[in-house]
Amino acid sequence: MAIHKIDGVDGVNHFPKKFVTLYCESSSISAGQWVMFGTDTTNGLGGSVKLAASVSTNGNSAVVGIATETLTAAGNLVVQTAGKYENAYVDTDIAVGLGLSGCNTTAGSASLTDANTFQVIGVALETEGTSTGESGTAERADVMIVDQGFF
């Protein structure tokens, strides 16, 4: 049986993306940094986000996506939770094709998935900071964010 696609997503020219607007507790966050569930009970647990903290033992499992804009004070933030994101913050050891886990070295930067991490939050689409990729900036890379189904 033939499959007929009507969503316009062909994997070549179009990448599906998913966004959610949440309250951001962080006083300062840059576009491209990874965010995690916040603990602000005013907005309900899971109803707010903050800069993803670095958790050195097993990585951070509370990471939900990437900030799409820069904030200088707490407020509403659009977070991309799935799809391709260009110039995301990553650790320096990230190479094309490798799995990404929650931050375990630098707050707001995705880390290399290893034997100690159990949650993959994305996949690197280019090697970090190479001049051949679109980013070309140290500790940045294009990534495909895994839709974890939280939103």
Is 100 strand, coil or helix? Answer: strand
Residue 118 lies in a domain: yes
Distance CA(12)–CA(5), nearest Å, equals 14
Q: Which two tokens stand for residue 136?
A: 């070309």
Residue for token digits 């290399």?
112
Radius of gyration of the chain (CA): 15
**Chain-centroid distance, C-alpha 96:** 16
Residue ranges making up the domain that contains 76: 20-145
Q: How far apart are CA 31 and CA 125, in angstroms?
A: 18
143 in Cβ contact with 110 (< 8 Å): yes
* pLDDT tens digits, 69-95: 999 998 999 999 999 999 999 988 899
pLDDT confidence of residue 134? 52
CA 110/CA 148 separation, integer angstroms: 15
Reduce the DSSP state of residue 77 to 3 states and report it.
strand
> For residue 132, is it within any domain?
yes
Q: What is the CATH number of the domain that holds 48?
A: 2.40.300
Query: What integer pLDDT is reported at residue 78 of this predicted model?
Result: 95
What lies within 8 Å, CB to CB, of 71 at 6+ separation is 24, 26, 28, 29, 77
Residue 15 lies in a domain: no
Asked if the structure places residue 136 within a domain, the reply is yes
Q: How many domains does the chain have?
A: 1
State pLDDT tens for residues 92-128.
Answer: 889 999 999 988 888 899 988 877 676 899 999 988 8
* Residue 111 domain flag: yes
Please report whether residue 64 resides in a domain: yes
Q: Looking at the domain assignment, is residue 53 inside a domain?
A: yes
Please state the rounded mean pLDDT for residues 7-31: 79
Is residue 151 in a domain? no
